[in-house]
């Protein structure tokens, strides 16, 4: 649905050159939710803006639905842009128009017949749950409600793709969850492909099928969310996950534990979460496993269990026990200092 090939973007500010994107290639399939994650300044906004040419790449190719958008003439580009809706962190609503008109006015400007405007505006306000607030002005709405208006406005053009530029970054956790639920419904029930950028791991975990991790204008890793976040390969991805991870134990506690044994982080996926692996380990080897911390991450279609376990015992026995864990269907990471 969206294909970027070797896309680079250089900004010139006075005498300085800023390489915001460096040879970025990625493909978003029809019907999926694809997320790009990275810290501030990684190039995410520039990347998403290259899809609908709010930003023109310095080099490389951008395809939307098979069309090479950089080669499209004005009229064809306008038509292609209709296939692409966009929502932003700052909502971009018309403050002087009420909710209904915020959705209806852009349709009017596009020449959609009046009856169709009414039908679509009502339909999409209903989908985002704002039918009873259609006369309210943006200043009378919460951040989550404003984002719902922006989503209805984007959907009213009946796009094939929705681009989301940090749509939940200004919202509190509960409102973020509700907007993510809405985006999931938009994807599932209306069949709209979603391409989003975010700096929030939670957004990727909750709704994305695939993810790309960006650093300094480059994509350093991409793949399915389960693979990338349970078996991160690149230091940047590991750093992202550990920054967000809830497994932070005080260094004094960690030092004590490492003196008396080894610490392993176990990640359980799917069926492996049902096996009594630690009980088996304690029974088969002369090793005492203690659970130091644990939790479950809910990914879109799968839950992932994580345990931080201390293994105490004779050095050789602990070594054999770690080998046993590696042989199971769990991911084992040794925690050192």
User: Can you give the binding site for ligand ATP, defined by CB under 6 A?
Assistant: 11, 13, 18, 20, 38, 40-46, 199
Q: How far is the CB of 13 from ligand ATP (least distance, A)?
A: 5
What H or E segment, with its residue span, contains residue 305?
strand 303-313
Q: How far is the CB of 166 from ligand ATP (least distance, A)?
A: 6
Q: How far is the CB of 75 from ligand ATP (least distance, A)?
A: 27
Q: How far is the CB of 214 from ligand ATP (least distance, A)?
A: 7
Q: How far is the CB of 9 from ligand ATP (least distance, A)?
A: 8
Of 170 and 331, which has the nearer Cβ to ligand ATP? 170
Of 22 and 265, which has the nearer Cβ to ligand ATP? 22
Structure tokens at 333: 């990471």
Q: Note the maximum CA span of the chain.
A: 79
Q: How far is the CB of 24 from ligand ATP (least distance, A)?
A: 11
Interacting residues of 250 by C-beta distance below 8 A, sequence separation 6+? none
- 23 to each of 1, 9, 61, 64, 195, how far by Cα in Å? 19, 9, 10, 18, 19
Q: Give the DSSP letter of residue 42.
A: S
**Are the beta carbons of 101 and 117 closer than 8 angstroms?**
no
Of 11 and 181, which has the nearer Cβ to ligand ATP? 11
Of 86 and 287, which has the nearer Cβ to ligand ATP? 86
User: Taking the CA atoms of the chain, what radius of gyration do you get in angstroms?
Assistant: 24
**Are the beta carbons of 267 and 304 closer than 8 angstroms?**
yes
**Are the beta carbons of 38 and 44 closer than 8 angstroms?**
yes
**Are the beta carbons of 304 and 236 closer than 8 angstroms?**
no
């Amino acid at each position: 649905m969206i294909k970027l090939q070797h896309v680079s973007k250089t900004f010139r500010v006075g005498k300085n050159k800023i390489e915001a994107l460096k040879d970025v290639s990625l493909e978003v399939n029809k019907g999926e939710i694809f997320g790009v994650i990275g810290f501030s300044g990684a190039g995410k906004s520039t990347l998403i803006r290259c899809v609908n040419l709010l930003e023109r790449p310095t080099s490389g190719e951008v395809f939307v639905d098979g069309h090479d958008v950089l080669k499209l003439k004005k009229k064809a580009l306008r038509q292609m842009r209709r296939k692409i809706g966009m929502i932003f962190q700052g909502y971009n609503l018309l403050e002087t128009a009420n909710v209904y008109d915020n959705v209806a006015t852009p349709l009017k400007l596009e020449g959609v017949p009046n009856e169709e405007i009414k039908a679509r505006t009502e339909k999409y306000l209903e989908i985002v749950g704002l039918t009873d607030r259609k006369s309210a002005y943006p200043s009378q709405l919460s951040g989550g409600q404003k984002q719902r208006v922006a989503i209805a406005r984007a959907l009213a053009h009946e796009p094939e793709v929705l681009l989301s530029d940090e749509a939940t970054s200004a919202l509190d956790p509960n409102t973020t969850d509700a907007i993510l639920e809405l985006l999931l419904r938009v994807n599932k029930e209306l069949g709209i492909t979603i391409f989003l950028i975010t700096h929030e791991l939670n957004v990727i975990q909750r709704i994305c099928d695939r993810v790309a991790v960006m650093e300094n204008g480059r994509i350093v890793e991409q793949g399915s969310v389960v693979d990338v976040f349970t078996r991160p390969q690149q230091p940047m991805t590991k750093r992202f996950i550990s920054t967000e991870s809830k497994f932070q134990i005080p260094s004094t506690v960690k030092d004590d534990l490492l003196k008396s044994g080894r610490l392993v982080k176990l990640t359980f996926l799917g069926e492996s979460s049902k096996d009594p692996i630690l009980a088996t380990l304690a029974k088969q080897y002369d090793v005492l496993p203690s659970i130091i911390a644990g939790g479950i991450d809910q990914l879109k279609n799968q839950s992932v269990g994580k345990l931080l376990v201390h293994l105490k015992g004779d050095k050789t026995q602990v070594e054999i026990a770690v080998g046993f864990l590696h042989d199971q269907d769990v991911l084992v990471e040794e925690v050192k200092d």
